Structure 1
C-alpha cells in the first residue's frame, strides 16, 4: 500500500466512530421507527454479515436480508422496493446502485469505507495496470466503481479460486487487486501467474498464527475457520478457508461444537442464529484496546447504526447519504461484474 493510501486509511480511522450507547428502550424506539419508515418510503434494508448484530436483526425483521456484498446487491436488484438502504461500506452501496440504476440507494453514512478500497486509488491502479498490459485484470469486489470499470473481471472470495483456475487454464497471466493475501492464496491454490497489488484488510491482517495456535491448544476439539484475506501463516492453520457465506456453512455443517473464527466478529450473529448449540471464539488479533486498529471488527462497518439509519429514512434527501454512480462509469463497471455473475451461474450448474 502506498504511503498516500496508508495516510488515507489512518485519516478515515480517526473519524470512524460508532454510535453512543443506548438504553434498551431507546434501541426499541429506533427499531420500530425504522421499520415504519422503511414501509412508508417503499424501502428495503440490506445488511452485510460484518455489521453489528442489531443492524442485521433489523434488516431481517423488516423483510430485508443479511448477506455478503454481492448477494446484498442481487437481493436489492430483485426486490420490488424502489429504495435500498445499504448497511455496509461504500463499495457495497456503489455495487447496489450499478445493479439497480433505477432505484435510489442510501447508506446510513457514506463515511463507511474499506481499507482495501481506500488503498487502491483509481489513478495509482490505472498506472499499475498500464505497466502490465499483457495481464488479465481481476479486481476484488472490495473496490470502487472506478477501479471496477478498469478491470476485465470482478471477483468475490467465494469464487476466486475457481475463476483464477479457469483463466490460468486459458493461459492468461493475472494482475490482481487489491488484497495481497487473497491474491497470494489463490496463486498458491491454483499455481497461476498472479501479480498482486499491495493492499490488505485492516481486520484480517491483524490475525496472528501464534495466537490462533495457542487458542487451539486451549480448545483441542475446536475447528479453525479462516477468511482468505488473512495472512498465509493464519490460513495454514485453518480447517476451512472460505468466504463469509462459506464459513457460515462450515460452522453449521461440521460436527465440531467449538470454532475459532478468523474474520470479522459480526459474522457471529448469523453463525449463532443457525447453530445456537455451538460455541464461537474470536481469533486473537495483533493488539487490544488502544493498540488494536480493529479488534476483529471493522470500524467502518460499526458506523452503521440505528440513529443514522433512521435519520436517512426521515429525510427525503437521505441527509445527503445517497449513492450516485456516473451512468457511463456504471456501464463500464457492469461489464466485469456481468462476467463474474455469468461465471458464478455456470459454476452452480
Structure 2
C-alpha cells in the first residue's frame, strides 16, 4: 500500500508574510475495492445512527454517498443546520475543520466526526485568534463581522457571522444604521461587499488559496474560445475576475444562477468540486473550470482545495469503523456558546431578509 506524503501549501498570513501548511492526500481507492467500501460505509452510517453531510468541494464519490444515504451536499452552514435538524446522534462532516466546528457549535449535544481533522482552510489559518483579538481591540468603534471560514474562537469574538450569500445584505443593513465594519478574513469578498454596499469597512488580510489563483487575462482568453459561455464567479475571487462575471454568487448561488440563466455553456470560477452537482442537475450543459494559471504562472491548488481533497473513502470508512477521539470535533463549551450568538444573529436576520435561504455558500 502506497503511503501518501503531505504536500506543502503556501498561503498569505495576515501580516503579508508567506506561510506553509501541509495537506495529505487520502489513500487511493482502486476500482475493485470501491463498491465494497461504499457499501460498508452505508451500512455503518445506519448502524451508528449517523448522517453524512458533505461540502460541494469534496470528491464526487463522497457527495454521492451523502445524497444516497439521506445526508446532504451543500455549503458549510447548511451542512450544520441539516445535521441539527436530522434525528441522527452522530454527524459526519466531510469538509474542512471550521465546518466541523460550526456543526458542533450548532449541535453541541451530538457527536461530530471528520475523516481528517487536519483538513485546514487558508482563511482560518491566516486569522489566529490572538492577533485578531488585538486587531478588534484596537478598533472598538467598529462592528466585527467575520466570514464563516474562521475558527470557533474567532466567531466567538465577532458580533456577526456571515456567509457569501448574505454578507452583502447584512453589511448593507449595518451601513444603513451608520455602523462602521471590521471585516475578516477574506480580503476579496470584503472588497466586493464594500464596493456593492459603500460601507466603511476595515479589512483583515487573508485570501482563499483556490479563488486567489483565478486569472483575469487567461479568463478573457478562455471567453474568446467560448463566446457563448456565461461566466459564474465566487466573490472570494480577485476583483479583475469578478469584473468579468455574468453572475457573482456563493456556491449555492452559482448553481442557482446556472439553472436560472439556462445557457448551454458555463465557465465556473470556484472550486471545481461543485461542477459534479451542476452536471447532475443540468445534464447536457457544458461546465468549464476557470483558469488558475497562465504564461509564467504556477498553480498550487488548480481550482481544487487541497484540504477538501483530504476527505477520501478510506478515511471516511475508518472514522465510522473506529470513531476515536482523534477524529471527533470538540469546541470549548464557553467558546461554543459565544460563537453561537453571531451565527444565530445571522440566521434570524436571514428569516426576513433572505427567506429563500437554503444553505449559505460560504466556501
TM bucket, shorter chain: over 0.9
Report deviation, 1:248: 0.4
Residues 1:275 and 1:3: Cα distance change in structure 2 (over 3 Å) = closer
Which consecutive residues of structure 1, in runs of 5 or more, have no partner in the other structure?
Answer: none
Partner of 1:119: 126
Matched, 1:139 2:150: no
Report deviation, 1:7: 5.2
Matched, 1:265 2:276: no
Q: Distance in 1 between the 2:259 and 2:88 partners?
A: 31
Partner of 2:263: 256
Question: Contact 1:287 / 1:295 at 8 angstroms: preserved in 2?
Answer: no
Partner of 1:333: 339
Report deviation, 1:235: 0.2
Matched, 1:237 2:244: yes
Q: Distance in 2 between the 1:4 and 1:196 partners?
A: 12
Q: Distance in 1 between the 2:151 and 2:187 partners?
A: 17
Cα deviations by residue, 1:302-349 (Å, 9 ceiling, x for unpaired):
00000000100011426x110000111000001111100101111134
Partner of 2:32: 25
Partner of 1:292: 299
Question: Contact 1:47 / 1:65 at 8 angstroms: preserved in 2?
Answer: yes
Partner of 2:13: 2
Partner of 2:188: 181
**Which of 343, 346, 351 is the aligned partner of 1:345?**
351
**Which of 65, 80, 99 is the aligned partner of 1:73?**
80
Q: Distance in 1 between the 2:137 and 2:333 partners?
A: 24
Q: Distance in 1 between the 2:323 and 2:160 partners?
A: 36
Report deviation, 1:4: 7.6
Report deviation, 1:21: 3.1
Cα deviations by residue, 1:195-240 (Å, 9 ceiling, x for unpaired):
1100000000000100110000100000000000000000000000
Count of residues paired in the alignment? 344
**Which of 181, 198, 202 is the aligned partner of 1:195?**
202
CA RMSD of aligned residues (A): 1.6
Partner of 1:148: 155
Question: Contact 2:14 / 2:206 at 8 angstroms: preserved in 1?
Answer: no
Q: Distance in 2 between the 1:171 and 1:83 partners?
A: 43
SS of the equivalent of 2:236 reads coil
Q: Distance in 1 between the 2:239 and 2:274 partners?
A: 21
SS of the equivalent of 2:44 reads helix
Q: Which segments of structure 1 move beyond 6 Å, counting only runs of 4 or more?
A: none
SS of the equivalent of 2:273 reads helix
TM-score between both structures, scaled by the size of structure 2: 0.92
Q: Distance in 1 between the 2:293 and 2:137 partners?
A: 36
**Which of 54, 63, 72 is the aligned partner of 2:70?**
63
Question: Contact 1:76 / 1:96 at 8 angstroms: preserved in 2?
Answer: yes
**Which of 176, 194, 208 is the aligned partner of 1:169?**
176
Q: Distance in 2 between the 1:21 and 1:325 partners?
A: 31
Question: Contact 1:268 / 1:280 at 8 angstroms: preserved in 2?
Answer: yes
Q: Distance in 2 between the 1:267 and 1:321 partners?
A: 25
Report deviation, 1:46: 0.1
Which has more helix, going by share of residues? 1
Question: Contact 1:5 / 1:118 at 8 angstroms: preserved in 2?
Answer: no
**Which of 63, 81, 90 is the aligned partner of 2:97?**
90
Partner of 2:361: none
Residues 1:5 and 1:213: Cα distance change in structure 2 (over 3 Å) = closer
Question: Contact 1:84 / 1:104 at 8 angstroms: preserved in 2?
Answer: yes
SS of the equivalent of 2:53 reads strand
